[in-house]
């Protein structure tokens, strides 16, 4: 995650519309999978000054993913009149120095060990699935890069880079590959079980909080995969890749 700071000094005659413009721009930030969080603060000592803090998944995701993406037009149209009032606009990396309430908890992606951890997980999973009586027939003719695509999907879901959205067709592509497969409950349960076995095999974190969040996503996603794959299904065709967080049990960092 990187933090972008944008500092504004807005001339008196334009101050009135500034916050309203950012209310409109915020809709685009909320819709962008590359934006983790944002916050606009106004200076108490000099009310012409504002600081906008935006947390992005990475510099690249911001500059290429967001600026090249579908919601950038809406964002830029809202804030365009204030571009000339920018005094600083730069990316910063977080350091280890932070107060007890200052630092956001790491994402599930970071906690798991990043993209590499999900690659290892999916390699192990498909080795198990290919020799499984219930799953092997279903994955017999899969794309040779399938394990890598699932890893990239999971990485994005758990708070990592938006590579699946940007490079692999996003949610519509994933749904399209489940449609018509008539996945049974027994196959779904085996799929989840083998993911758990693979998680143990490759040493994904086994603390209660991580495994609870990890499992809840697999349960949710696999049940959707079953219903979307039935012959009479009419799945939602357009949606962002979901983002999954810690839920009610944040990481224990004692």
Residues lying near ligand HEM in the complex (CB under 6 A) are found at: 135, 138-139, 142-143, 146, 149-150, 153, 168, 173-174, 177-178, 181, 183, 187-188, 191, 218, 221-222, 225
Q: Tell whether residue 173 is among the known ligand binding residues.
A: yes
Closest distance to ligand HEM from the beta carbon of 207 (Å) = 21
| Secondary structure (3-state) at 247 | coil
Taking every pair of C-alpha atoms in the chain, what is the biggest distance, in angstroms?
72
Q: What is the DSSP letter of 61?
A: I
Rank residues 79 and 157 by Cβ distance to ligand HEM and give the closer one: 157
Distance CA(175)–CA(204), nearest Å, equals 26
Residue with tokens 């994955």: 139
Rank residues 168 and 211 by Cβ distance to ligand HEM and give the closer one: 168
Q: Is 114 left (phi over 0), alpha (psi -120 to 50) or beta?
A: left
**Could you tell me if 107 and 160 are in contact, meaning their C-beta atoms sit under 8 angstroms apart?**
yes
Rank residues 38 and 217 by Cβ distance to ligand HEM and give the closer one: 217
Distance CA(184)–CA(231), nearest Å, equals 12
| Secondary structure (3-state) at 87 | strand
Closest distance to ligand HEM from the beta carbon of 191 (Å) = 4
Closest distance to ligand HEM from the beta carbon of 57 (Å) = 18
Rank residues 22 and 244 by Cβ distance to ligand HEM and give the closer one: 244
Closest distance to ligand HEM from the beta carbon of 182 (Å) = 10
Cα-based distances in Å from 154 to 24, 28, 73, 90? 31, 24, 28, 29
Rank residues 183 and 198 by Cβ distance to ligand HEM and give the closer one: 183
Report the residue closest to ligand HEM, judged by CB.
221
Closest distance to ligand HEM from the beta carbon of 164 (Å) = 7
Residues of each annotated binding site for heme: 173
């Amino acid at each position: 995650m990187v933090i972008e700071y944008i500092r504004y000094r807005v001339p008196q005659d334009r101050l009135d519309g500034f916050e309203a413009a950012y209310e409109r721009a915020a809709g685009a930030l909320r819709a962008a999978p590359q934006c983790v969080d944002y916050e606009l603060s106004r200076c108490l000592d000099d009310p012409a000054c504002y600081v906008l803090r935006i947390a992005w998944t990475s510099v690249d995701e911001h500059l290429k993913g967001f600026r090249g993406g579908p919601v950038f037009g809406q964002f830029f149209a809202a804030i365009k009149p204030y571009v000339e009032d920018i005094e600083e606009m730069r990316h910063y990396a977080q350091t280890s120095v932070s107060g007890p309430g200052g630092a956001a908890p790491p994402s599930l992606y970071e906690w798991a060990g990043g993209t590499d951890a999900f690659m290892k997980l999916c390699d192990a999973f498909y080795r198990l699935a290919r020799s499984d009586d219930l799953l092997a027939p279903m994955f017999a003719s899969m794309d040779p890069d399938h394990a890598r695509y699932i890893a990239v999907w999971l990485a994005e879901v758990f708070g990592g880079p938006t590579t699946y959205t940007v490079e692999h067709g996003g949610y519509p592509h994933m749904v399209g590959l489940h449609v018509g497969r008539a996945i049974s409950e027994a196959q779904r349960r085996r799929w989840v079980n083998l993911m758990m076995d693979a998680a143990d095999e490759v040493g994904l974190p086994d603390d209660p909080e991580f495994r609870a969040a990890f499992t809840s996503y697999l349960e949710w996603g696999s049940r959707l995969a079953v219903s979307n794959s039935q012959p009479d299904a009419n799945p939602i065709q357009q949606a962002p890749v979901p983002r999954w967080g810690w839920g009610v049990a944040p990481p224990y960092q004692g």
